Structure 1
Amino acid sequence: MPVYKDKNGTWYVMTRCDDWQGQRKQKCKRGFKTKREAQDWECRFLLQQGGDLDMLFKDFYKLYEQDMKARLKQNTWEHKACVIKSKILPYFGEKSMKDIQARDVLTWQNELLRHRDKHGKPYSETYLKNLHNQLSCIFNHAVRYYDLSTNPTAKAGSIGVKNAKEMNFWTKDEYMQFSEVMMDKPISFYAFEMLYWCGIRLGELLALTTADFDFKNRKLRINKSYQRLKGQDVITEPKTKKSNRTIEMPDFLCEEMQEYFSMLYDQKPDERIFPISKSYLHHEMDRGVKATGLKRIRIHDLRHSHVSLLIELSFSAVAIADRVGHESIEITYRYAHLFPSKQAEMANRLGELKKGGGF
């Protein structure tokens, strides 16, 4: 299709394409400074419409967005898009999809591995793994749905390690020191009580309403999560299907939360009982750590603290997983070092069996 010069001196493209229903539609794109820019855009647009992998990586990303955005939770997509736009598109955006090779991926990986922030620290192993996975997802999509022959990230190999962060947690005594200095601000105190004694995620905490509590039966319903996205409060479904669950609370926590509810004024059943931000609780954590001299852990580490406490109390991985909304195999894998070793007991039992002639 030819390109045209507009009255204001810029150029525009008028072309036709098929929509998702197979109907022929006219497409107009204006505002190009030169004729060449208009022609380049039209060429890329037609390649994109035809799914031709001669297209640039940045144009394929637009197809990937169209295909995947509606299938993912809003906060999941926002995180994915942020990573891609900041760390992947700047490097691969102007390269042709079909021309990207494993060596290009290796060069990109090496740049990430060499990165150091202003304090001389590299990217974390978990973050590197996440970056690699996001790039791999895009190429896997191209292989599966657009007939790309191979995924170059598979040939290049992965970098980073999933869940590589050191797992920190507080003991019960450490948490009790912390909670004592939080008592001067009720909203902070009761929020941290819920996080530590129930092991819920921060987003799950901030989405709680009075309707989620059944004090008669000591039940707490977890069926939603709070996110702050693009300046808006957003309530989504929990992180996974397993995260939809009901938790039983200890008696003292039921009493504490009823005390907290009595402090709320004109609270509606569907209103958040903790109308605060994640940032607020991070600052409160800093305040408590400074006042007590405890080691600084992340908010999410209170969840690890809850799990470690349940392991210390001899609960099984299956029971713990059901409470915190994980698969039992994930509890076994992530917290294996906290479960007491059975090796000595195994060796003793085998010795007893041998002596008894039971083989």
Structure 2
Amino acid sequence: MPIYKIKKGKYQVDVSLGNDPITGKRVRKRPTAPSKKEAEYIEAKLRGKHKSKDWLSKKEISFPELIKLYLNECKLSNKPGYHSVQLYTINKHIRDYFEKADIKRITHNEIIEFRNHLIEKELDDGNKLSNKSVNNLLATLKQIFETAVNEGVIQINPCSKVKRLPLKHNKMKFWRPEEFKKFISFIPDDQLLFKTFYTTAYLTGLRCGEMLALQWEDIDQFVNELDIRKSATYIRGEFIVTEPKTKNSIRRISINQKLLGLLDHWKRHQKELFNLLKIPHSEKTYVFQYKDKPSSKDIFSRKIKYFCKDTDLEPIRLHDFRHSHAALLINQGEDYITIKERLGHASVRTTIDVYGHLYPNKQKEMADKLDDLL
């Protein structure tokens, strides 16, 4: 009997609502009510809410099968690097949570509970996921459930109305010219590779993947330009070269004469090094390669802290060299369009969103002019 009288004139509602859509465990609700009439209303409401979660689709698919479908599509439609990141993300943060889930019965509420789980989750290093990471994980989960919608397993994506968490914008780090010159002075003369790599990064604003994919044939000596049309990374030990991040990333950028001279100097040194190692050297050789295999991002990331060790210069991340270049251009008075084209942003809006705060404060300029009136 779902309703029965208990002490003090109250009524107990005891309703079985099937199994939990995430864990598969039996779900029971046992609220109390001050009268039998209200208890009957609560029972009807609980059963109605439960019944509304039922789906008409007869197609069955498990969550692991759904992941497999999504990743197969992901591999066909995206760059190898993106597929690899998605696979890692799903295995680390999503797969186990939804392993036994009944896909058809998952609603907005279960996704909110998962989001709360991510917010509270403690990582291996003792830290917690940032709001940005949580948002990215929910975006991946939304794509997984969109696959279920496309397959006709469910009608509505349960992630569709989940709001993004607010982002905390950390202060952007970058080096001013005097700080960069100090950093370069810390690098020994016999480590020309690193002097050349970091100088190129600072004076071009190239993404790390774009630099790793750069070959000598991509440097146009006649017009002092770099031809950027590919990006590289290591995936499970394999060096993968793909098209850049967006179609706007395919571009040609001008470089200054001193940088061109430094690159030529490194090219001669690299050729001598390859001769000693008995490695073929040609225009197809990667610019920042120093052994039989192309270089990886890790060595250049680690060396920044190494060269700054025991100095008064605060190290920055490798990607911050790109920010440093943007700040350098802004300080020189370059406009948004020029910076957008040089950095290969998809739109001027991206440039403004990322670097707009670095532009001089126009209101302060206006206030200073008002002083001249008095």
Identity rate, percent? 29
Equivalent in 180, 186, 189 of residue 185 of structure 2: 180
In 2: Cα distance, 1:101 partner to 1:224 partner: 41
Partner of 1:328: 348
Amino acid aligned to 2:357: H
Partner of 2:128: 122
- CA drift of 1:209 comes to 0.9
Is 1:274 the counterpart of 2:288? The answer is: yes
Between the two proteins, the alignment pairs up a number of residues equal to 302
Partner of 1:237: 243
Partner of 1:11: none
Partner of 2:359: 339
Equivalent in 298, 301, 317 of residue 298 of structure 1: 317
In the alignment, structure 2 segments of 5+ residues that lack a partner are: 1-56, 272-279, 290-294
Equivalent in 250, 254, 262 of residue 248 of structure 1: 254
- CA drift of 1:335 comes to 1.1
Is 1:54 the counterpart of 2:60? The answer is: yes
TM alignment of 1:125-144, pairs within 5 A: 125-144=131-150
- CA drift of 1:119 comes to 5.2
Sort the Cα spacing of 1:117 and 1:248 in 2 relative to 1 into closer, same or farther, 3 A. same
In the alignment, structure 1 segments of 5+ residues that lack a partner are: 1-50
In 1: Cα distance, 2:210 partner to 2:334 partner: 23
> Does the Cα contact within 8 Å between 2:197 and 2:288 map onto a contact in 1?
yes
> Does the Cα contact within 8 Å between 1:114 and 1:122 map onto a contact in 2?
yes
Partner of 1:318: 337
- CA drift of 1:124 comes to 2.1
Partner of 1:36: none
Amino acid aligned to 1:320: I
Amino acid aligned to 2:287: I
- CA drift of 1:234 comes to 1.1
> Does the Cα contact within 8 Å between 1:169 and 1:297 map onto a contact in 2?
yes
Q: How big is each residue's C-alpha offset from its partner over 1:107-149, in whole Å with a ceiling of 9 and x where there is no partner? A: 2111211123455422123222211111112223333453632
Amino acid aligned to 2:77: R
> Does the Cα contact within 8 Å between 1:200 and 1:324 map onto a contact in 2?
yes
In 1: Cα distance, 2:108 partner to 2:356 partner: 35
Partner of 1:170: 175
Sort the Cα spacing of 1:236 and 1:295 in 2 relative to 1 into closer, same or farther, 3 A. same
Sort the Cα spacing of 1:138 and 1:118 in 2 relative to 1 into closer, same or farther, 3 A. closer
TM alignment of 1:1-359, pairs within 5 A: 54-117=60-123, 120-144=126-150, 146=152, 148-159=154-165, 161=167, 164-182=169-187, 183-265=189-271, 267-275=281-289, 276-326=295-345, 327-344=347-364
Greater mean deviation of Cα atoms: 288-297 or 300-309:
288-297
In 2: Cα distance, 1:142 partner to 1:340 partner: 49
SS of 1:292's equivalent in the other structure is: coil
In 2: Cα distance, 1:160 partner to 1:84 partner: 22
Structure possessing the higher radius of gyration over alpha carbons: 2
Sort the Cα spacing of 1:214 and 1:113 in 2 relative to 1 into closer, same or farther, 3 A. same
- Provide the TM-score with structure 1 as the length reference: 0.78
In 1: Cα distance, 2:103 partner to 2:325 partner: 46
> Does the Cα contact within 8 Å between 2:104 and 2:153 map onto a contact in 1?
no
- Provide the TM-score with structure 2 as the length reference: 0.75
In 1: Cα distance, 2:99 partner to 2:200 partner: 45
Sort the Cα spacing of 1:292 and 1:349 in 2 relative to 1 into closer, same or farther, 3 A. closer
> Does the Cα contact within 8 Å between 2:81 and 2:233 map onto a contact in 1?
yes
- CA drift of 1:292 comes to 2.9
Amino acid aligned to 1:233: F
In 2: Cα distance, 1:145 partner to 1:340 partner: 52
> Does the Cα contact within 8 Å between 1:204 and 1:225 map onto a contact in 2?
yes
- CA drift of 1:345 comes to 5.3
> Does the Cα contact within 8 Å between 1:73 and 1:236 map onto a contact in 2?
yes
SS of 2:234's equivalent in the other structure is: strand
- CA drift of 1:190 comes to 0.5
